Amino acid sequence: MRIPYWSQRTQVRVNGQSVSGVAAGSYLNLRRSWKKGDFIELRIDMRPHIWVGEKECRGRSSLYRGPILLTYDRRYNDMDPDQVPALMANKLGLRTVRSPAGTPEPMVMTKLKGAHGKTVYLCDFASAGEGGSPYLSWLHVKGMEKVRYSRANPLRSGRP
The pLDDT of residue 97 is 94
The pLDDT of residue 160 is 85
The pLDDT of residue 150 is 87
**What does the domain layout of the chain look like in residue ranges?**
1-45, 48-142
The pLDDT of residue 54 is 92
Rounded to whole angstroms, the Cα distance separating 104 from 116 reads 27
Rounded to whole angstroms, the Cα distance separating 18 from 27 reads 16
The dihedral through the CA atoms of 157, 5, 148, 127 has a sign that is negative
Strands of the chain, DSSP E: 2-3, 11-14, 17-18, 26-27, 40-43, 48-52, 61-65, 68-73, 87-88, 95-96, 109-113, 119-124, 135-136, 141-142, 157-158
In which residue ranges of the chain is pLDDT below 70?
none
The pLDDT of residue 141 is 95
The pLDDT of residue 6 is 94
The pLDDT of residue 151 is 85
The pLDDT of residue 106 is 95
The pLDDT of residue 10 is 97
